[in-house]
Chain A
């Protein structure tokens, strides 16, 4: 998958939820939930991998980055199970 494309999409989603939710934590949770609901697992894996690739995903906006961290926790939790 084209990571730049995924980043753009994640940032767009975060932009919507951070403008539509006054509470930042809710915006992060809603962004993460949107990614869970609509993104194929390989897309989520790649954006999580992007977060972990050493650059700390500087191209993701703050809300998107925190949402992807929630996804990373999902995958960590799955592995733990």
Chain B
């Protein structure tokens, strides 16, 4: 079952493949940096900064249609923001990275096919 769903992006761009590629490539370019920042924030126990990074990644995951990561990023954002269940955040981060690592090749494939 595919991890990504580009229905929204296709609708948003009116099927313009160039624009879909642009947005997907922006996601592919910046998401690893955001994940690195989140891990750094987590390592430093800087939960407000972790919350900010999760907050910025959240809508982008939605636009890429990575539904399995949507609730997870919201949970990380909420836990970091409220500083509750923080002991669960490392595991949640690992899950998130695993999902994104699987979604990224699909996104690259989608761009190549367009």
Q: Do A and B bind each other?
A: no
Interface residues of B (CB under 8 A from A): none
